[in-house]
């Protein structure tokens, strides 16, 4: 409590807006509201709509509401309860003559929607300006490479701003504009996005996208194409990512995990001589895996992955992190070998392998791959 009190008092003394995360729950150690109210000399009062919502939450689930859950409906006197669509603890907005305070729940699944839907609009009104952000999703170009190609846009432009954020195997570029109207802010963002496209357009897979698999699914649905996958080192991860998408059955036919050479031969029709000559981790085998699953499923697009995810199994000519991918699209075959790094973790290699396959699948559907045959 003492450290929390000290941290809040310091933040409140030097800031116009303070946002806190966490400590709004029902347990004894959820002390954020209590400590802040002590600092601001404000009593806690019950917010009846919040109390009713919490009571209904437990009633719908047939669970008993304990007394400590009621404390989640307590807000500082004069404060506004912000409805939480993902949990029982409402956020809180407090406005004084000179300062603003926002208290939000800690779990990201609750914090993010509550901030975007309730807190952000309240804060935006303070500036008299409209703020609009768009995110450019980039795959296949690292953070350093992205920055080197876009450095002047990142450093010179102040409105809109362009900021990079490194993700697992990707880079997200956030474009933010402030203007008097939404229309003007959107126009400014579009102009910046166009400049970015001129420089790294081949690596951009979406604007305000969700993820690679969702974008690929959208392209397949748009073109009336179907997909099947054959995996080895990823152990079904590619299939899992596709089936995470609601309604994917309209385009996703299915997948197989052929982990051993015997399964590759029996299920996919990979030739024994190909395995013996080139090895299981080779472009040749990846190609036969892709064409094999396409033949079995009858899909328009087929993706395959075979590689060495480690930590063992690597050799000088094929170190850990070596992955070969196959793409079969309407009778045309493309294969590629990539190296994700000998020091990369097993899970990281598997994740990047699935992402690479998804990106290649998008390129194939967009007719951007040069075919092997």
Q: Look at residue 373 and tell me whether its pLDDT is greater than 60.
A: no
Question: Residue 106 pLDDT more than 60?
Answer: yes
What does the CA dihedral 195, 368, 237, 284 come to, rounded to 10 degrees? Answer: -140
Q: Give the pLDDT of residue 128.
A: 85
Question: 159 CB contacts (<8 Å, ≥6 apart)?
Answer: 177, 178, 188
CA–CA distance, 161 with 192 (Å, rounded to integer): 9
CATH number corresponding to 212-365? 3.90.950.20
DSSP string, 106-129: SSHHHHHHHIIIIIHHHHHHHHTS
Question: Are the C-beta atoms of 249 and 227 separated by less than 8 Å?
Answer: no
CA dihedral 180, 183, 184, 185 (to 10 degrees): 80
| Helix (H/G/I), strand (E/B), else coil: 152 | helix
For the segment 329-359, what is each residue's pLDDT rounded down to a tens digit?
Answer: 999 999 999 999 988 999 999 999 999 999 9
Under the banding of pLDDT at 50, 70 and 90, the label for residue 372 is low
Residues of the chain with CATH 3.40.980.10: 2-107
Residue pair 35/42 in contact (Cβ under 8 Å)? The answer is no
Name the pLDDT band for 94 (thresholds 50, 70, 90).
Answer: very high
Query: Distance between CA 329 and CA 208 in Å, rounded?
Result: 27
The strand order across the sheet containing 301-307 reads: 252-257, 227-231, 301-307, 322-329, 332-339
Strand ranges (E), the chain? 17-21, 44-46, 74-76, 80-82, 91-95, 100-104, 130-139, 161-167, 170-179, 204-207, 227-231, 252-257, 301-307, 322-329, 332-339
In whole angstroms, what is the distance from residue 216 CA to residue 356 CA?
A: 12
Domain with CATH 3.30.70.2860 in the chain: 130-207
Query: First CA to last CA across the chain, in angstroms?
Result: 68
Query: For 293-327, how does the pLDDT look when each residue is reduced to its tens digit (9 = 90+)?
Result: 999 999 999 999 999 999 999 999 999 999 999 99
Would you tell me which CATH number, out of the four given (1.10.10.10, 3.90.550.10, 3.40.50.2300, 3.30.70.2860), belongs to the domain 130-207? 3.30.70.2860
Residues 371/332, Cβ–Cβ less than 8 Å:
yes
Q: What is the Cα–Cα distance from 148 to 282, expressed in whole angstroms? A: 33
Q: CATH assignment of 2-107? A: 3.40.980.10
Which part of the chain has CATH 3.90.950.20?
Answer: 212-365
What is the model's pTM?
A: 0.81
């Amino acid at each position: 409590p003492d450290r929390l009190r000290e941290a809040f008092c310091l933040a409140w003394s030097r800031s116009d807006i303070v946002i806190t995360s966490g400590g709004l729950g029902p347990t004894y150690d959820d002390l954020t509201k209590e400590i802040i109210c002590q600092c601001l000399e404000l009593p806690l009062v019950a917010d009846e709509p919040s109390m009713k919502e919490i009571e209904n939450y437990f009633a719908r689930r047939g669970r008993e509401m304990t007394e400590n859950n009621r404390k989640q409906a307590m807000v500082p006197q004069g404060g506004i309860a912000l409805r939480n669509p993902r949990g029982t603890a409402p956020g809180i907005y407090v406005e004084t003559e000179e300062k603003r305070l926002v208290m939000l729940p800690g779990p990201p699944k609750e914090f993010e929607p509550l901030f975007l839907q309730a807190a952000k609009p309240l804060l935006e009104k303070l500036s008299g300006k409209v703020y609009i952000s768009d995110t450019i999703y980039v795959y296949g170009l690292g953070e350093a490479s992205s920055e080197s190609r876009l450095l002047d846009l990142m450093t010179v432009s102040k409105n809109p701003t362009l900021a990079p954020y490194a993700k697992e195997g990707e880079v997200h570029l956030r474009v933010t504009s402030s203007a008097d109207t939404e229309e003007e802010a959107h126009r400014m963002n579009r102009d910046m996005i166009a400049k970015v496209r001129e420089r790294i357009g081949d690596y951009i897979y979406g604007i305000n996208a969700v993820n690679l698999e969702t974008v690929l699914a959208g392209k397949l649905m748009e073109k009336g194409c179907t997909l099947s996958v054959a995996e080895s080192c990823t152990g079904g991860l590619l299939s899992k990512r596709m089936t995470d998408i609601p309604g994917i059955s309209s385009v996703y036919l299915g997948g197989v995990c052929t982990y051993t050479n015997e399964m590759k031969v029996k299920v996919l029709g990979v030739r024994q001589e190909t395995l013996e000559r080139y090895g299981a981790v080779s472009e040749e085998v990846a190609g036969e895996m892709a064409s094999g699953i396409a033949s079995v499923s009858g899909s328009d697009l087929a993706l395959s992955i075979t590689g060495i995810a480690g930590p063992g199994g690597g050799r000088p000519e094929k170190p850990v992190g070596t992955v070969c991918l196959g793409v079969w699209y309407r009778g045309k075959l493309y294969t590629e070998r990539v190296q994700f790094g000998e020091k990369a973790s097993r899970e990281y290699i598997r994740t990047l392998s699935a992402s690479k396959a998804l990106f290649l699948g998008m390129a194939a559907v967009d007719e951007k791959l040069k075919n092997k045959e």
